[in-house]
A and B are shown apart, each in its own frame.
Chain A
Amino acid sequence: MSVVLGVSALYHDAAVALVIDGELRGALQQERVSRLKGDPRLPIAAAHAVLAAAHMTAADLDAVVFYENPFARLEHVLVSTLRGFPQTLRQFPRAMAAQLSQKLWVKDELAAGLGIDRTRIHHDEHHRSHAASAYFASGAQTAAVLCVDGVGEDTCTSVWRGDGTSLRLLSRQLFPHSVGLFYAAITAWLGFRVLEGEQQVMGLAALGSPTKLAAMERLARINVDGSIELDLSCFAHHYDHTLGFSAGFVKVFGPPRRPGKAWVLDDQGVPVDAADRHYADVAASAQHHTEAMLLALAQHARSLCPDVDTLCLAGGVALNACANGILSQRSGFARVFVQPAAGDAGGALGAAWNFGRSRGDVPRPLAHAAWGPALTAAMMVPLATACGLVSQPVVPAEVVARLWRGQVLALVDGRSEFGPRALGHRSLLAAPGPRRVQDHINTAIKRREPFRPFAPAVLRDDAAAYFDHVTDDLGRFMTGVSTTKTAWRETLGAVTHHDGTARVQCVDEHAPHLHALLQAAQAAGHPPVLLNTSLNGRREPICQGAVDVVRFLLAHPDVNGVVVDDVLLTRPS
């Protein structure tokens, strides 16, 4: 019986997760309160927000658990520096400065920041935290767990076996042979921001053809045992963490794309510029090869756990929804599960669960992703009114009618989501077609690349009528890609990507307002499908509180209003 706060921080996507007697009670990323996208700083503000929502203070905590081992991390930095000498000479002072200024002392900083005794601060291991977050969230009694990310301490990939409340490490692959850092190098070469632009690479891949697959296979070789071996002459992460790719990479694929250069597509979604078509082909090749690497790793996990039928995935690479969809269809596992905060933020949850079960607690599976502080109409209306907005009662049928008239509406429903996906609690909604709706939201509201797809939210029980290969394990948290049925691709044009795929969210009563809207759409004779994207502007975190939502509405004139509970907030006509 314990009250545990899990913490991930200091690399990217800092977060906290409050677990009481094995049950998640609250979770929040620091970026939601600091308003800095991907904020890596110690999530003290997020911790206080989660504790306040649970009517607790830091004094009530039995333990605070950091999601990785700061001493093993320092050891990894020292060993990899010595191994890469003299190439690592330039990186060494910076790496040491980062370690010595804060990362090594993270447990002291947490104790000071939360105002609790240092003896209550513990640490876990990066991949063990990931593995726990995936396995215990799934609710499976037995599962193979595959963790794939950039690097955690010295490990890039690990395979675990979960049995009941135990987790056992079966194999691991050490730095620098990392699937995550392979994808990061491609991301950087394509001119996108690493740790943020990976989703852009995935979206761009649908526009190209995998014509560079042979080169990719040489770049990252898949061994017979499923392990990955990078051609290190093409990468730079092992000697300079600010560089992803090396001159060797440029020799193979040509010069990198200039960051920020606009993408121009024709009517078919093909890049007009020949150079951009080449970049799209490289993205497609990298995506195909990443899927092949993950399939090989999944088969390796299957060979280590031949008697289990569930595969749980975690780590930053598990946010690759296209690859998850492929794994779901081809890995041989009956179930493939990915929890909503599969990246480093989810490590906070795994660390808390691991500590709790060492005290005899039994982790409880995740039924939904809404674990942040709540926001209600009563909290929003006074601020909105003071800012000149108009509030009026609204019913789902009226919201649906507005959406099908071409309006774009924000939806705020209670507690915010944990993880990078908006699942109906801090969402932006529109009709699911035609395709020009996608162009409008990409250019006028999101202000991002024209090829970026939007996800469909569909009533769970009706998903199979509109999409192929939908599973509840991936659809629940929008962590896998499916295919829109051919007959519906035109009607659902705004939520179907250029290659016919769609990142489907299967909606049930856990997102009550979105569920009611989908039912209202169905009652009005429409497909029970809505375009659902995150409630945030360009390079902003998803809105959390009333101030964020009202500010977003005021800054985005193409958003027609905000639905919160049974109230519609609009600008005065």
Chain B
Amino acid sequence: MLRLRTTIELLRHFVDSRRWFLLPLLLVLLLSSVLLVLTGGLSYVAPFVYALF
């Protein structure tokens, strides 16, 4: 719930600043962050971070 507020603020920032070309990259990052939240932190996905990017 807390992170949802931050996600909304983040999207609002990118919409307000008209950085449309960054949206695809941003969506990938948000999906990654969902992965981080679900797994409880970076330590679980650290081995995959390099593979993801």
Q: Which residues of chain A have a CB within 8 Å of any CB of chain B? A: 69, 71-72, 74-75, 78-79, 82, 92-93, 96-97, 99-101, 104-105, 107-108, 111-112, 118
Q: Say which residue of B6, B26, B33, B49 sits within 8 Å of A78 (CB atoms).
A: B26
Residue-wise, chain B 13-29 has the 8 Å CB interface mask toward A (1 for contact) of: 11001010010011001
Q: In the complex, A78→B29 CA distance in Å?
A: 10
Q: Say which residue of A75, A111, A112 sits within 8 Å of B13 (CB atoms).
A: A75
- In the complex, chain B residues whose CB is within 8 Å of the CB of A78: 22, 25-26
Q: How far is the CB of A87 from chain B (nearest CB, A)?
A: 15
19 A–B pairs (Cβ distance < 8 Å), ordered by A = A71-B13, A79-B19, A82-B25, A93-B49, A93-B52, A97-B49, A99-B29, A100-B32, A100-B36, A100-B42, A101-B36, A101-B41, A101-B42, A104-B6, A107-B6, A108-B2, A108-B5, A118-B2, A118-B5
Closest Cβ neighbor of B50 among chain A residues:
A93
How extensive is the interface on chain B, given as a class? 20 to 34
Closest Cβ neighbor of B33 among chain A residues:
A100
Q: How far is the CB of A172 from chain B (nearest CB, A)?
A: 15
- In the complex, chain B residues whose CB is within 8 Å of the CB of A99: 29
The answer to whether A75 touches B53, judged by C-beta atoms less than 8 angstroms apart, is no
Q: In the complex, A563→B32 CA distance in Å?
A: 55
The answer to whether B2 touches A111, judged by C-beta atoms less than 8 angstroms apart, is yes
- In the complex, chain A residues whose CB is within 8 Å of the CB of B36: 100-101
The answer to whether A97 touches B42, judged by C-beta atoms less than 8 angstroms apart, is yes
- In the complex, chain A residues whose CB is within 8 Å of the CB of B46: 97
Q: Say which residue of A75, A92, A108 sits within 8 Å of B3 (CB atoms).
A: A108
- In the complex, chain B residues whose CB is within 8 Å of the CB of A93: 49-50, 52-53
Q: In the complex, A192→B46 CA distance in Å?
A: 30
Q: How far is the CB of B7 from chain A (nearest CB, A)?
A: 9
The answer to whether B2 touches A79, judged by C-beta atoms less than 8 angstroms apart, is no
Closest Cβ neighbor of B41 among chain A residues:
A101
The answer to whether A71 touches B32, judged by C-beta atoms less than 8 angstroms apart, is no
A104 in contact with B33 given A71-B10, A75-B13, A92-B53 (CB within 8 Å):
yes
Q: How far is the CB of A82 from chain B (nearest CB, A)?
A: 8
Q: How far is the CB of A44 from chain B (nearest CB, A)?
A: 16
Q: How far is the CB of B20 from chain A (nearest CB, A)?
A: 12
Q: How far is the CB of A460 from chain B (nearest CB, A)?
A: 47
Residue from A72, A82, A93, A105 having most chain B Cβ neighbours under 10 A = A105
Closest Cβ neighbor of B26 among chain A residues:
A78
- In the complex, chain A residues whose CB is within 8 Å of the CB of B14: 71, 75
The answer to whether B33 touches A112, judged by C-beta atoms less than 8 angstroms apart, is no
- In the complex, chain A residues whose CB is within 8 Å of the CB of B6: 104-105, 107-108
Q: In the complex, A453→B35 CA distance in Å?
A: 51
The answer to whether B3 touches A72, judged by C-beta atoms less than 8 angstroms apart, is no
Q: In the complex, A96→B14 CA distance in Å?
A: 17
The answer to whether B2 touches A71, judged by C-beta atoms less than 8 angstroms apart, is no
Q: In the complex, A135→B26 CA distance in Å?
A: 36
| Interface contacts beyond A75-B17, A82-B22, A101-B42: sample of 8 additional A-B pairs, CB < 8 Å, sorted by A | A75-B19, A78-B25, A78-B26, A93-B50, A93-B53, A97-B46, A105-B6, A118-B2
